[in-house]
Amino acid sequence: MKRRELLKSLGALGIGLPFANTSLGLPLLDYPAIKSSDFGDDFIWGVATASYQIEGAVSKDGREPSIWDTFSEKKGKIKTGETGAVACDFYNRYPKDIELVKKMNFDVFRFSLAWSRILPNGTGKINQKGIDFYHRIIDSCLENNVQPWITLYHWDLPQALEDKGGWKNRDIIDWFGEYSDLCTRKFGDKVKNWMILNEPVAFTVLGYLLGIHAPGKRGFRNLYPTIHHTAMCQSEGGRIVRQNVKDANVGTTFSCSSVHAYRDKKKDSITSAKLDALLNRLYIEPCLGMGYPTDGWKLLENVSKYIKDGDMEKLSFDFDFIGLQNYTRVMAKHSPFIPFLWGSQVHPKKRNVEMTEMEWEVYPKGIYEMIKKFKSYDGVDKIIITENGCAYKDEVSNGVIDDQKRIKFYREYLEQVLKAKQEGANIAGYFCWSLLDNFEWAEGYRPRFGLVHVNYENQTRTIKNSGYWFSEFLSK
């Protein structure tokens, strides 16, 4: 009973993660003057995507199932009953989609590699057709003068490896090492910018504690080993990229949410510290040589059971940049009814604040607060906002999507990024989530995060007014 209550409480947190997205001359909201040039000539601008969310073609050209193929086919796991089997059909439509990146004046296309498209069984036999596909994407980027930035792992573990224990199995350090070595040797002559993991808190907590994301495991006994093995892979992947890719620029990405105590009470502050340790500190501090944040939540001391001799030294890696991914904030409140955490999030609805369709609070100051927090760490020299964005219900009227709320969201968050940069934070870039409307994990296709609208019935693309806004913004 107590365990179920805890899982329910954590599941209700939301935790601020994207889990569970030439001017037309139309009037835009009136804002104070802000230009891309305010961020500096060397600041980079990009759009981000993930393989399972956009590619489709899940059984084509040698690709084998990932944990998300398996998970999404189980009844009740995806709210809309959908899967990523077709998604945005990016596998067949990538040339035109990359042209859209260029049309909106972005410098960077961030995409992830599907592990099971490259190594169908997770290790061993290489699928050359998968290698060829990603070479075509990279070449298309370069032909359009768009920088390809690769994420090695964005949540879609090969099912064959999950059948052996997945991230719970310490052998994944070797599996991930083999995969990282192969990818960097195959693509490293063309791609210099690499990200190791996408939001490790999200795929470990949601997938191995709460069970609401793939692979659907529940309980702390699944989470503790997964935390340590993931942190080990994070640094091991960085070492492999730096070894194999000449002049590599290597980072990794962290979801982060500003955590506030709901009331000015000591017990709320204690809950806030626990959530901050879980959501913001859990993976950055090990790679900085600080160990796990057990001072914030003593429960994390259980991770130590899985630490072997020499592991703490291997956890450290000096990344060239840290990717921050911010969407909202968390308001923490003590509760005597939730074991272990002894608290929960106060839902934005109860606070009567502005929300996106994901029911995440719109809190632009949060991205400023998180930049300041991560900047304060010794060892974090450069920050890139590798995801920021919002989902709203889009209406298509005469072929136009006039998404003013999304434009307002981006504008207000960018103002906070600029403020942090002007105060001395070394922020080198900003990537929108996302290029396309896509399969939004356990939420299915309902939430639309894209700058480009996707009609899933016929796969037509329509640039939203937010996309045109960026095209104009990036030209100044």
CB contact at 8 A, 451 and 464: yes
Tokens 């089997």, located at residue: 85
CB contact at 8 A, 367 and 432: no
CB contact at 8 A, 229 and 169: yes
Q: Let me know if 329 is exposed, middle or buried by CB neighbors in 10 A (0-12, 13-18, 19+).
A: buried
Cα maximum dimension of the chain: 64
* Dihedral, 15, 18, 21, 26 alpha carbons, nearest 10: 20
| 13-51 residue pLDDT tens | 444 333 333 344 444 445 457 999 999 999 999 999 999
Domain 2-473 class in CATH: alpha beta
In angstroms, rounded to a whole number, what is the distance separating the alpha carbons of residues 212 and 45? Answer: 32
Q: Would the CA dihedral through 202, 203, 208, 212 be positive or negative?
A: positive
Q: 156: which 2 tokens? A: 């879609």
Which of 29-43, 103-117, 234-248, 397-411 has the weakest average pLDDT? 29-43
Report pLDDT for 183.
99
Average pLDDT over residues 90-108: 98
In angstroms, rounded to a whole number, what is the distance separating the alpha carbons of residues 409 and 399? Answer: 22
Does the pLDDT of residue 247 top 90, yes or no?
A: yes
| 141-185 residue pLDDT tens | 999 999 999 999 999 999 999 999 999 999 999 999 999 999 999
Does the pLDDT of residue 6 top 70, yes or no?
A: no
Q: 279: which 2 tokens? A: 């959501």
| 100-141 residue pLDDT tens | 999 999 999 999 999 999 999 999 999 999 999 999 999 999
Which residues are designated catalytic? Answer: 199, 387
CB contact at 8 A, 185 and 244: yes
Give the amino acid at 50. A
pTM score, whole prediction: 0.94
pLDDT-derived band at 369 (thresholds 50, 70, 90) equals: very high
Strand partners, 105: none
Report pLDDT for 60.
98
In angstroms, rounded to a whole number, what is the distance separating the alpha carbons of residues 58 and 239? Answer: 30
In angstroms, rounded to a whole number, what is the distance separating the alpha carbons of residues 49 and 29? Answer: 27
3-state secondary structure the chain: CHHHHHHHHHHCCCCCCCCCCCCCCCCCCCCCCCCHHHHCCCCEEEEECCHHHHCCCCCCCCCCCEHHHHHHCCCCCCCCCCCCCCCCCHHHHHHHHHHHHHHCCCCEEEEECCHHHHCCCCCCCCCHHHHHHHHHHHHHHHHCCCEEEEEEECCCCEHHHHCCCHHHCCCHHHHHHHHHHHHHHHHCCCCCEEEEEECHHHHHHHHHCECCCCCCCECHHHHHHHHHHHHHHHHHHHHHHHHHCCCCEEEEEEECCEEEECCCCHHHHHHHHHHHHHHHHCCHHHHCCCCCCCCCCHHHHHHHHHCCCCHHHHHCCCCCEEEEECCCEEEEEECCCCCCCCEEECCHHHHCCCECCCCCECCCHHHHHHHHHHHCCCCCCCEEEEECCCCCCCCCECCECCCHHHHHHHHHHHHHHHHHHHCCCCEEEEEEECCECCCCHHHCCCCCCCCEEEECCCCEEEECHHHHHHHHHCCC
Q: Would the CA dihedral through 295, 298, 303, 305 be positive or negative?
A: positive
pLDDT-derived band at 282 (thresholds 50, 70, 90) equals: very high
Strand partners, 332: 261, 345
The percentage of residues in the chain with a pLDDT greater than 70, rounded to a whole number, is 93
- Residue extents of the structural domains in the chain: 2-473
The CB density around residue 380, as the number of other CB atoms within 10 Å, is: 19
* Dihedral, 435, 389, 457, 359 alpha carbons, nearest 10: 170
In angstroms, rounded to a whole number, what is the distance separating the alpha carbons of residues 471 and 476? Answer: 9
Compute the radius of gyration of the chain from its Cα atoms.
Answer: 21
Does the pLDDT of residue 5 top 60, yes or no?
A: no
In angstroms, rounded to a whole number, what is the distance separating the alpha carbons of residues 269 and 124? Answer: 49
In angstroms, rounded to a whole number, what is the distance separating the alpha carbons of residues 139 and 285? Answer: 36
In angstroms, rounded to a whole number, what is the distance separating the alpha carbons of residues 174 and 179? Answer: 9
